[in-house]
Amino acid sequence: MPVNAALLYPFILAAGVLQALGNSMNAQLRGRLVNPWLAATASFLPIVFVFATLFFIMPTPLPTLETLGKMPWYAPLGGVAGAVAVFGGLALIDKVGAGPFNGLTLTANILASLAMDAFGLFGLQGGGFKLMPWLGGLLMAIGVVFIARTTADKADGKDSGDEKESGHGLNPKLLYPFIVVAGILQAVGVVWNSQLRGALVNPWLAATVSFLPVVFIFVLVFLLRPTPLPTKQDITGVRWWMPLAGITGAVAVFGGLLFVDKVGAGAFNGLLITANLLTSVALDHFGWVGMKQVKAGPARLGGAALMVAGIVLISVF
């Protein structure tokens, strides 16, 4: 890996930390606003406002007809592809549990990223099959499983069987393929966003175009399903930092626009996910940002160590 690419790693790690903070802040916003689609809309609207404002302040460079002509048809859908995991979390996490959902999405993300790097998919430079990065991906996948196994409910001594008995009318395992697809699309979305950045030239314009369809979908779903709505007491409980969740998490998307073609999809997503999960473990351990406290026991610490070892293999080899 070239030295200049390695210099980008701290910025990607910082984006992963902010992404984890954004996830936790989103969870708090969702709890206050009650309706998940309203919460998602409130979270994503400031992103479009910020990126659109930055584009108006810094409108150059602008794309040419030549760069627009080379843009793949799917490039503007990068934000939507990445947001499928958000949709899945809103719709499915209460049915399968946070541990399995996060474990499946992140594992699929890692392996899909390595595959895109190996085969040169979606315009990436193909590097062929390399054993060590795939071994690193395997270690990261095992680490994700160890971390995800310990959820807040299990820490409180609740049996996951209680959730099954609560009666969702569907075996949660039947939803696993859809969750895996969401994780794959999350990885693909990063690459598509990078291609959008190349075509539109201006990163602020690219970010705005990437997020606009996502906001449109969230607003549409909220209009179709406007209930339940938060009470006055719910709204007064919204802290000033909660609506900033989307902007905090969007740093990772913007990082993908700028860096994925320089470091590779595997290294970018691996660094991002590692920083994300390690931060999540710390947030759970200390109960920061309103998260329910889950002590980092041997399983979580072991999983974190495996993830660090895995990303070293992916990044170095």
Q: Which residues of 138-149 are buried (b: 16+ CB within 10 A; e: fewer)?
A: bbbbbbbbbbbe
Has residue 313 got a pLDDT over 80? yes
Average pLDDT across the chain, whole number:
83
- Widest distance between CA atoms in the chain: 60
pLDDT band at 164 (very low <50, low <70, confident <90, very high): very low
Has residue 92 got a pLDDT over 80? no
Has residue 44 got a pLDDT over 80? yes
Q: Which of 85-89, 147-151, 167-171, 301-305 has the lowest mean pLDDT?
A: 167-171
Task: Tell me the C-alpha distance between 188 and 23, whole Å.
Answer: 20
What is the reported pLDDT for 186?
A: 87
Task: Tell me the C-alpha distance between 135 and 142, whole Å.
Answer: 11
**Who wins on pLDDT, 152 or 310?**
310
The Cβ of residue 247 has, within 10 Å, a number of other Cβ atoms equal to 18
What is the reported pLDDT for 94?
A: 60
Helix boundaries (H) for 58-168:
65-69, 78-96, 98-119, 131-149, 152-155, 160-165
Give tens-digit pLDDT for 229-261. Answer: 999 999 999 998 888 888 888 888 888 888 888
What is the reported pLDDT for 75?
A: 92
**Who wins on pLDDT, 10 or 156?**
10
CA-to-CA separations, 231 to 27, 45, 159, in angstroms, rounded:
18, 21, 32
What is the reported pLDDT for 165?
A: 42
Phi, psi for 129 (deg, rounded to 5): -75, 125
User: 0.85 exceeded by the pTM?
Assistant: no
Cα angle for residues 243, 181, 44 (degrees, 5° grid): 15
Report helix, strand or coil for 159.
coil
Q: Which of 126-130, 150-154, 163-167 has the lowest mean pLDDT?
A: 163-167
Q: Which residues of 267-282 are buried (b: 16+ CB within 10 A; e: fewer)?
A: bbbbbbbbbbbbbbbe
Has residue 58 got a pLDDT over 90? yes
Burial of residue 130 (number of CB atoms within 10 Å: 0-12, 13-18, 19+): middle
